[in-house]
Structure 1
Amino acid sequence: MSIHQATPPVDSLVLYKVRPARVVSVGDKIEIELDGGQSKRVRPKDIELLHPGPLRNLDELGPQAGELTEAWELLEGGETNLKDLTELAFNDFTPATAWAAWQLVAEGLNFSGTPQAIQAHAREVVEHKLAERASKEAAERDWQAFLDRMAKARPGPEDVERLGEIERLALNRSEHSRILEALGYQQTQENAHRALVRVGHWPTSFNPHPLRQGILMDDPALEVPALPDEERLDLTHLTAFAIDDEGSCDPDDALALDDGRLWVHVADVAAVVEPESPLEAEARARGANLYLPEGIINMLPAGVTERLGLGLQDVSPALSFALRVDTEGVLSGIELHRTWVRVERLTYAQAEERLMAGDPILSEMAAISERFQARRRANGASRLDLPEVSLKVEDDSVRIRPLPRLKSRDLVTDAMLMAGEAAARLCIDHQIPIPFATQAPPESGEEASDLAAMYSRRRCFKPTKLSLTPDLHASLGLPLYTRATSPLRRYSDLLVHQQLRAWLAGRSLLDEQQVLSRIGEADTASLAIRRGERLSNQHWKLVFLRDNPDWKGEGVVVGIDERKTVVLVPELAMEARVRVRDEVSLNQRLRLAVNEVDLPGLSASFRTLGVA
């Protein structure tokens, strides 16, 4: 007998979604009672009849003993209905046995379908489903065991692949981690970092920031062409100095003097990096060298630096700017030559000692640079004497050394700016398309004389832009300027050199559109490089503080707001925000102690110990 009825009677057993229900009353809508005593009014099409009843209480639907396996074996591969299946399995058709039979169908292993049409699965289908369920159960046990190891911070070798999921989130390569979610972490890069350190997958001092920016972390592996056979001016008789920071390994500029004329030699990188070469494409994609406290990642193969770095060989090829600086600091007599030079390498400290001792060559160079600097100052150049440090990581130990303000450093800085202005003037005079470095003047603010004012003044300047149109560079005090002295380190300088070399040789130049396209691509990569460097420097400064929990030092107040005071810590060249109880004033010195370091969060808190 079929149990199908258009309208189920009162006290019948029906199926509402996946739950059993008892029909209480029948009208325009059917009132049903759900387990738990809840009542609900539904449409006839929202329910399916399982048994006509009578069912007085849903509590009657308890477990039933029957011949379930035998029923399936008899029906295997065939079709039946709920009433026949119930009678076969339980030898009785009651609301309780009907519900027990339907649960067997709903389980989906041996049977599937509707109350009116139930399919008994073939044996191979059942065996496949059993295997799938066993596999899922094993996977779930494995997953729970993994989460238990993670909770105890004791992952095993078999967990490395799974931990890669968290690593992808930590390195900005995905936005979600099922593992972190299961462990109760919010889905952030910082929390992923914390989790990886906690379980020992990342070292406690691991620096993720360059990788987060998508920066390549190894040097290019490309062949370096031989230096072309071309005529060069021999300047090996002039004493030339490559002056740089201690430990510098990519010297790409040097200075020489010849009868009052200053020579600025620059490594002739464009001699081996042609505009359409694989080397050029690689340098463009990288944008610049990546300078990290733990080492340097070059935009060009190391072989380029070994061959062309000034002073790394007995004699070096260079692209050399010759110029004079008059008493007003104005450049004249600008020349450009392919040259051979012999270079002596000095650190800034060594050059400073020679200057203080009255070295005639360095002293004359300094006098030239001072005239040029005076002109820049008169044109509004800004001198922001903010703290700087040298930051190095060796054998997991962080070394921070403040950089003193040296006359030798000013000398080199101004000489490089002279070469940049000279290159810009040559390119304008000969209509050579290049990227000019420009900067609009600040909208407000006056020249600063103290640390707080310098901190504020720096925030008034807009970032330097690269443009095909020459214009003012406000903070340098130069009416026009291009970057031309670091072709080993920056793509924009290399591009300028390629254009200048093509002009010298009488070859065709890249047009404005080609220059614009190339500099746009490289600038995108350079932004990632600069951000990676800035965040990495902050990371290692925090590692230093974490490893020196008893650190105490001075901070200078450079900003005051309602909640916290902004201080600069000169010996770390680090900005911090601290809470102070007493009223403070700008440039006041406070004694500080480190309170807490959050390496993944890239922050540290300090407490004040009083006025310094």
Structure 2
Amino acid sequence: MPSHQAIPRTGSLVVYKSRPARVLAAAEKIEIEIEGGQTKRVRPKDILSLHPGPVASLAELRPPEVHPQEAWELLEGTETDLKELAELLYGEHSPGAAWGAWERLSEGLWFEGTADALRPRAGELIERDRAEREAKAKADQAWAAMLERLRQGRIEPEDRDALGEVERLANLQGEHSRILKALNYEETPIAAYRLLVSVGYWPATHNPYPTRVGAALCNPELPIPGLASATAITGEPERLDLTHLPAFAIDDEGNQDPDDAISLDGDRVWVHVADVAALVQPDSELDREARARGANLYLPEGIIHMLPMAITEQLGLGLQAQSPALSFGLRLDAQGEISEIEIQPSLVQVQRLSYAEADRRLDQAPLADLAQIADRYRQRRFAQGAAEIDLPEVSVRLHEDEVLIRPIERTGSRSMVTELMLMAGEAAARYAQARELPIPYATQPTPERIDQPSSMAGMYAYRRLFKPSRTVVGEPGRHFGLGLDAYTRATSPLRRYGDLLVHQQLRQHLRGSEPLSAEQVSQRAGEADQGGITVRRAERQSNLHWKLVHLKQQPQWKGEGVVVELQERKAVLLIPELALETRIRAKQGLALDQCVPLALAEVDLAQAECQFRLLG
């Protein structure tokens, strides 16, 4: 059809960018009118002639609705042009019919080719494409309906799968979201969090942080060997029977994994620790799983264990009538120095006490004697430069949708247990060092300045000078904060992989078996440290989240903050009852360690922020 290639004349119908246009003037460049009345000057190659016209108005191009089936059947097996297709469809070749025929050709369902050479498509292709287009139209309709529901702040069950992309972005597991983009939201985790909460996909108090940092969210489920079968395989030495000694596992009320207990045998202190290494052998499936996790994850919502719960039920001290343990025996001289270190697999009979119950019995034997020994050890540590930072700490727990925040008080029994556990850690370190047994030692470099602050602001500033503790394998190094020249963590193998690794090495030595090499210990400790970093980040961010939930549920909250740092325009405050740090605009007259009255101003869970205002 040559007319489609020729320069069109005034009044003719052409196609410009897939839409109809009317030619107003034809010269070197062609002036056209497009829908809406706008005019343009275009090159001949930018347009396609459809009909010579005349076209008085583009509004005339409204051909009637016709079904192309009959025209398709008549043309089957042939090739034709747009003029004949218009006549078959509409019975005429008017501008409106030409435009209607062009639309049928452009849609690519019934016909294919060009205006000068078009042909009917194969029937099976038509059916396939029609089904695909209908499915797409249905999906587009569902998409539009979902977006409208989201704008209204609601969802239906069928929307949850689609919102998975928003959840991935909110959990830092994706970078883009088609839904957020369509709703003109920023494609950020904060915006994603807000949307998911606003439509009820997530509850208003949802804690995203364990998922965001990649922490394991469920307890491991692995087969557990029986203790008798495990000891038969490994050839355990006979257990020392210490069931005649009163032994006490002292911990917070409601503790679920008691892994240490204390006894006194004359002047010998015994620290008994759950004998996890008797069951969890190096490089076993249990060992690899615990190593990957690094530690128990303690969330306000509950505990995610690094080992199956069945191990705690079997080995937790005081959970059975008698408990297998790895016991650390030692004596303390008048200067608080450790001597006569003994490490033995043992059998103990343990009574469980809360710190409150233990405090009430601190004036009774044997706890009174253990407290005196612990105090002697503490005095030695501080004489050797140990540092004490006494800043507010709280326990955050979720109980039946209520956030419970309780202060952690440094009571006599808590201090006693802390010292006895440090004593066991030093004893384990010295025992391993003397036998050249590779274990992970905990060290901490000395800060640039040594101070002994007594005020909250002083302690806050001093803590910022502290360098992170480090794990070393080989020769132990000094741990500045503890005031010890040799120390390893060895009293929580149910809760921390590093402690379990120490136990595995000690157990191999006690069995007379070849322990892991320093290189193997270092590699395992490094893996566990990475898991521990994830766990601590999840715990820290989750505790803050639930503190903010607690405040959001109490919009009229009022309390006190202590000024711990003065900046150029702001002051840093600690709120003791929440162990929460906040910043407010500095006002003249504020001084370090000053207590100031505060009121809650705003809480933003999505940004993990809250604002307070000064009262008075």
Change (3 A) 1:67 1:145: closer
**Which structure 1 residue ranges, 5 or more long, are not aligned?**
none
1:14–1:23 Cα contact (<8 Å) kept: no
Q: Structure 1 stretch 69-78 or stretch 596-605: which is displaced more?
A: 69-78
Describe the SS at the equivalent of 1:162.
Answer: coil
Deviations 1:451-474 (A, max 9, x none): 112112212222222222422222
Change (3 A) 1:10 1:265: same
2:240–2:346 Cα contact (<8 Å) kept: yes
Deviations 1:291-320 (A, max 9, x none): 122221211122211221122222211111
**Residues in 1 aligned to 2:590 and 2:568: alpha-carbon distance in whole angstroms:** 12
1:375 aligns with 2:370: no
How far residue 497 of structure 1 moved from its aligned partner, in angstroms, is 0.3
1:53–1:94 Cα contact (<8 Å) kept: no
**Residues in 1 aligned to 2:217 and 2:513: alpha-carbon distance in whole angstroms:** 35
Question: Please, which of 417, 422, 430 is the counterpart of residue 425 of structure 1?
Answer: 430
1:521 aligns with 2:524: no
Letter in 2 for 1:118: L
Query: Which residue of structure 1 aligns with residue 500 of structure 2?
Result: 494
Change (3 A) 1:37 1:596: closer
1:3–1:83 Cα contact (<8 Å) kept: no
How far residue 122 of structure 1 moved from its aligned partner, in angstroms, is 3.7
Change (3 A) 1:254 1:25: same
Question: Please, which of 391, 396, 400 is the counterpart of residue 391 of structure 1?
Answer: 396
1:535 aligns with 2:536: no
Spell out the pairing of 1:224-303 with structure 2 (5 A cutoff): 224-227=224-227, 228=231, 230=236, 231-303=238-310
Question: Please, which of 341, 353, 358 is the counterpart of residue 346 of structure 1?
Answer: 353
Query: Which residue of structure 1 aligns with residue 85 of structure 2?
Result: 85
Query: Which residue of structure 2 aligns with residue 450 of structure 1?
Result: 455
1:177–1:187 Cα contact (<8 Å) kept: yes
2:16–2:48 Cα contact (<8 Å) kept: no
Describe the SS at the equivalent of 1:382.
Answer: coil
1:13–1:53 Cα contact (<8 Å) kept: yes
Change (3 A) 1:67 1:431: closer
2:7–2:26 Cα contact (<8 Å) kept: no
How far residue 581 of structure 1 moved from its aligned partner, in angstroms, is 4.3
2:566–2:586 Cα contact (<8 Å) kept: no
How far residue 66 of structure 1 moved from its aligned partner, in angstroms, is 9.2
2:249–2:352 Cα contact (<8 Å) kept: yes
After TM superposition, the score normalised by the length of structure 2 is 0.90
User: What percent of counterpart residues are identical?
Assistant: 52
Query: Which residue of structure 1 aligns with residue 7 of structure 2?
Result: 8
Describe the SS at the equivalent of 2:336.
Answer: coil
Letter in 2 for 1:527: I
What is the CA RMSD across the aligned residues, in angstroms? 2.7
Q: Structure 1 stretch 566-575 or stretch 130-139: which is displaced more?
A: 130-139
Change (3 A) 1:9 1:559: same
Query: Which residue of structure 1 aligns with residue 609 of structure 2?
Result: 603
2:332–2:338 Cα contact (<8 Å) kept: yes
1:2–1:83 Cα contact (<8 Å) kept: no
**Which structure 2 residue ranges, 5 or more long, are not aligned?**
none
1:549–1:594 Cα contact (<8 Å) kept: yes
Q: Structure 1 stretch 390-399 or stretch 325-334: which is displaced more?
A: 325-334
Change (3 A) 1:61 1:562: farther
Letter in 2 for 1:604: C
**Residues in 2 aligned to 1:181 and 1:49: alpha-carbon distance in whole angstroms:** 36
Spell out the pairing of 1:181-260 with structure 2 (5 A cutoff): 181-227=181-227, 228=231, 230=236, 231-260=238-267
1:512 aligns with 2:528: no
Deviations 1:250-292 (A, max 9, x none): 1111122223222221111101111132211221122111112
**Residues in 2 aligned to 1:334 and 1:68: alpha-carbon distance in whole angstroms:** 96
How far residue 223 of structure 1 moved from its aligned partner, in angstroms, is 2.5
Q: Which runs of 4+ in 1 moved over 6 A?
A: 54-58
**Residues in 2 aligned to 1:546 and 1:54: alpha-carbon distance in whole angstroms:** 70
Query: Which residue of structure 1 aligns with residue 409 of structure 2?
Result: 404
Describe the SS at the equivalent of 1:333.
Answer: strand
**Residues in 2 aligned to 1:564 and 1:375: alpha-carbon distance in whole angstroms:** 41
Spell out the pairing of 1:83-232 with structure 2 (5 A cutoff): 83-89=83-89, 97-227=97-227, 228=231, 230=236, 231-232=238-239
**Residues in 2 aligned to 1:255 and 1:541: alpha-carbon distance in whole angstroms:** 34
1:33–1:39 Cα contact (<8 Å) kept: yes
How far residue 201 of structure 1 moved from its aligned partner, in angstroms, is 3.1
1:427–1:433 Cα contact (<8 Å) kept: yes
Change (3 A) 1:437 1:31: farther
2:13–2:55 Cα contact (<8 Å) kept: no
**Residues in 1 aligned to 2:459 and 2:49: alpha-carbon distance in whole angstroms:** 83
**Residues in 2 aligned to 1:105 and 1:401: alpha-carbon distance in whole angstroms:** 74
1:503 aligns with 2:502: no
Q: Structure 1 stretch 488-497 or stretch 437-446: which is displaced more?
A: 437-446
Deviations 1:122-178 (A, max 9, x none): 444444444333333322222233233333334233333334343333333333333
**Residues in 2 aligned to 1:279 and 1:120: alpha-carbon distance in whole angstroms:** 67
**Residues in 2 aligned to 1:586 and 1:77: alpha-carbon distance in whole angstroms:** 93
Question: Please, which of 411, 415, 418 is the counterpart of residue 413 of structure 1?
Answer: 418
Q: Structure 1 stretch 247-256 or stretch 208-217: which is displaced more?
A: 208-217
**Residues in 1 aligned to 2:315 and 2:214: alpha-carbon distance in whole angstroms:** 28
After TM superposition, the score normalised by the length of structure 1 is 0.90
**Residues in 2 aligned to 1:71 and 1:50: alpha-carbon distance in whole angstroms:** 22
Query: Which residue of structure 2 aligns with residue 477 of structure 1?
Result: 483
**Residues in 2 aligned to 1:48 and 1:38: alpha-carbon distance in whole angstroms:** 14
Change (3 A) 1:40 1:471: farther
Spell out the pairing of 1:550-589 with structure 2 (5 A cutoff): 550-589=556-595
Q: Structure 1 stretch 392-401 or stretch 167-176: which is displaced more?
A: 167-176
How far residue 385 of structure 1 moved from its aligned partner, in angstroms, is 0.3
Change (3 A) 1:26 1:479: farther
1:269–1:488 Cα contact (<8 Å) kept: yes
**Residues in 2 aligned to 1:75 and 1:493: alpha-carbon distance in whole angstroms:** 83
Letter in 2 for 1:314: A
